[in-house]
C-alpha cells in the first residue's frame, strides 16, 4: 500500500494547507488512537512541540482527536524531538507525538510519532493509520473519553538524561561554548545542559517568538555560530536545528565540521578507547573518505538511503551502534534510541576533553574527498534509467576511479533534474568525470 500522507519523517507541510490543518490533524489523532486501542485498552500518548506559533493550534487538535478515541494525553510543552522519544520510553507511554517541521521555516509544521520504546515506527504502522483514516470515526462515549494532563518539569527530566550520557569523571569547566538553538525546541534546555556540566555558555538563537525558528540561525545557517564563536573567543560552538535532532559544530578557529567528520570522530574515539566498533552506517551521500578511513581500521561501512530513519533501519539490522548523515543527524544507539543533537555534541566534547585535543587535531588524518555535483535538466518524458550511453559512461568512470572515488546518480525529488555526483581523491579528476557523465545524460 502506498502511503498518502506519511513521508520519510512523519507528515509535514505548510500550515493551513492540507494535510496540516486542524480538522485533518484531529482526524489523524483519532485514527492513531483507534489503532492504539486495538492492542491496549487505555493508551496514553505524550505530545511535545517546537516553538512555532502553529504548535498551539495543532496541539489542541491532537489532544481532542486522541481524547475522542478514548486515549489519555500528557502535554510536555516545548521539547526537542529526542526529548519526546526519551520521555515516551521513561514514562512507559504508548506513543510519543512531536509537533515540528524540524529545520523548515516557521510557516511549515508537521507531526511525527515514536513507539513506546522511543523509536521510529515501521511503515506497516503508518499504513494502518492511513487505512483507519479512510473509515468513519468511532467516537468514545462520555464515560470513555480520554483525559489530559501536563507533565511538570518535562524539560528538567530531559536535561538530566542528556547529562547522564556524559562521563561523570569529566567536566566542561574552563570551556567557553556558544550554543545556538535556532530559536527552536531546545532554547531553554541546550544552554542549561552545557552550563550544568561546567561550561561558560553564550546563547544565541534562544529567544523564540513563534515566527523566527531557524531564521538565519541554527544548524542550517551556521555562519551565525561561526561569527559568535569568534566574537566571544569561545572554544566551541554548538548549533542545533528547530527540533534539536541534528548538530553542527565549530572549533575555536571558526572551522565548521559536518556530520560526516563528526561521525568518524565518534567512531575514532571509541576505537581509541579499545571499544569494539564492528560497523558504522552512513548514507549514499556520506563522503567516501569516511568509508576508506573506517575500512582501513577494520570497521565495516554500510550506506543507507538518505534519511535518519533509513540509517536507523540499517543499524538495527546489523546490530551496530553508530550511524549518521552529513547534515548532522548522528545516532549512538547505546546512548539514545534516536538521533539527538545535544547528546551527539556531548559525545564529541567528551572525546575532546578526554584527549586534550580539538576536533581538528582528532580528525587530522581524515581528508575528505572533493565532491563535484552537476544538476542536469531532464526533458519531459526522459527516462534516464534507459540511457545506454549514460550507463556505459558510468561503468567506465567507476572502473577508472576504482577505490579512489565513486559515482552517485540520482533524480531530484522535486524538480526534473538528474543529480550527477562524483567523488575522487583528486578534485580535477572528479570534475572531469562529472562533466563526462553530465554530457552522457544529455546525449
Residues 6+ apart with CB under 8 A from 7: none
Q: Residue 43 CB: number of other CB atoms within 10 A?
A: 23
Asked if 119 and 312 count as a contact pair (C-beta separation under 8 A), the reply is yes
Distance between CA 78 and CA 51 in Å, rounded? 6
Asked if 110 and 93 count as a contact pair (C-beta separation under 8 A), the reply is no
Residue 224, CA atoms < 13 Å, CB-side half-sphere: 22
Asked if 262 and 348 count as a contact pair (C-beta separation under 8 A), the reply is yes
Distance between CA 411 and CA 43 in Å, rounded? 42
Residue 121, CA atoms < 13 Å, CB-side half-sphere: 24
Asked if 342 and 189 count as a contact pair (C-beta separation under 8 A), the reply is yes
Asked if 326 and 421 count as a contact pair (C-beta separation under 8 A), the reply is no
108-114 and 95-99 as β-strands: parallel, antiparallel, unpaired? antiparallel
Angle (CA) 30-33-36 rounded to 5° is 155
Asked if 191 and 200 count as a contact pair (C-beta separation under 8 A), the reply is no
95-99 and 44-49 as β-strands: parallel, antiparallel, unpaired? parallel
Residue 161, CA atoms < 13 Å, CB-side half-sphere: 25
How many residues are recorded in the chain?
Answer: 443
Distance between CA 247 and CA 326 in Å, rounded? 10
Q: What is the CA radius of gyration of the chain?
A: 23
Distance between CA 404 and CA 267 in Å, rounded? 22
Q: Give the active site residues.
A: 102
Amino acid at each position: 500500500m502506498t502511503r498518502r500522507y506519511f513521508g520519510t519523517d512523519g507528515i509535514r507541510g505548510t500550515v493551513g494547507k492540507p494535510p496540516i490543518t486542524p480538522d485533518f490533524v484531529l482526524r489523524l489523532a483519532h485514527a492513531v488512537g483507534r489503532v492504539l486501542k486495538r492492542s491496549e485498552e487505555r493508551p496514553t500518548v505524550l505530545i511535545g512541540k517546537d516553538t512555532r506559533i502553529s504548535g498551539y493550534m495543532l496541539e489542541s487538535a491532537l489532544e481532542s482527536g486522541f481524547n475522542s478515541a478514548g486515549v489519555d494525553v500528557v502535554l510536555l510543552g516545548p521539547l526537542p524531538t529526542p526529548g519526546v522519544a526519551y520521555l515516551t520510553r521513561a514514562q512507559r507511554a504508548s506513543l510519543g507525538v512531536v509537533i515540528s517541521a524540524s529545520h523548515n521555516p516557521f510557516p511549515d509544521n508537521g507531526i511525527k510519532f515514536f513507539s513506546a520504546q522511543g523509536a521510529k515506527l515501521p511503515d506497516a504502522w503508518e499504513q494502518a493509520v492511513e487505512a483507519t483514516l479512510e473509515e468513519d470515526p468511532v467516537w468514545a462515549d462520555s464515560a470513555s473519553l480520554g483525559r489530559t494532563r501536563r507533565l511538570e518539569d518535562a524539560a528538567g527530566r530531559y536535561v538530566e538524561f542528556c547529562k547522564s550520557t556524559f562521563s561523570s569523571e569529566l567536566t566542561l569547566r574552563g570551556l567557553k561554548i556558544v550554543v545556538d538553538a535556532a530559536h527552536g525546541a531546545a532554547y531553554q534546555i541546550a544552554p542549561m545542559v552545557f552550563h550544568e556540566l561546567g561550561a561558560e555558555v553564550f546563547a544565541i538563537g534562544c529567544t523564540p517568538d513563534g515566527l523566527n525558528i531557524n531564521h538565519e540561525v541554527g544548524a542550517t545557517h551556521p555562519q551565525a555560530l561561526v561569527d559568535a564563536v569568534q566574537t566571544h573567543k569561545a572554544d566551541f560552538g554548538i548549533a542545533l536545528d528547530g527540533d534539536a535532532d541534528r548538530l553542527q559544530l565549530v572549533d575555536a578557529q571558526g572551522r565548521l565540521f559536518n556530520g560526516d567528520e563528526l561521525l568518524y570522530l565518534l567512531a575514532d574515539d571509541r576505537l581509541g578507547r579499545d571499544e569494539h566498533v564492528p560497523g558504522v552506517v552512513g548514507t549514499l551521500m556520506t563522503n567516501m573518505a569516511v568509508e576508506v578511513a573506517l575500512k582501513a581500521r577494520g570497521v565495516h561501512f554500510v550506506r543507507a538511503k538518505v534519511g535518519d530513519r533509513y540509517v536507523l533501519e540499517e543499524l538495527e539490522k546489523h546490530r551496530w551502534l553508530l550511524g549518521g548523515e552529513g547534515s548532522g543527524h548522528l545516532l549512538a544507539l547505546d546512548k539514545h534510541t534516536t538521533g539527538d543533537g545535544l547528546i551527539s555534541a556531548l559525545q564529541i566534547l567528551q572525546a575532546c576533553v578526554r584527549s586534550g585535543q580539538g576536533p581538528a587535531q582528532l580528525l587530522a588524518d581524515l581528508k575528505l574527498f572533493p565532491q563535484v555535483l552537476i544538476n542536469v535538466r531532464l526533458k519531459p518524458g526522459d527516462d534516464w534509467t534507459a540511457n545506454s550511453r549514460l550507463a556505459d559512461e558510468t561503468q567506465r568512470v567507476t572502473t577508472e576511479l576504482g577505490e579512489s572515488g565513486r559515482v552517485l546518480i540520482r533524480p531530484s525529488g522535486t524538480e526534473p533534474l538528474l543529480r550527477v555526483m562524483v567523488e575522487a581523491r583528486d578534485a580535477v579528476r572528479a570534475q572531469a568525470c562529472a562533466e563526462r557523465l553530465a554530457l552522457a545524460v544529455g546525449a
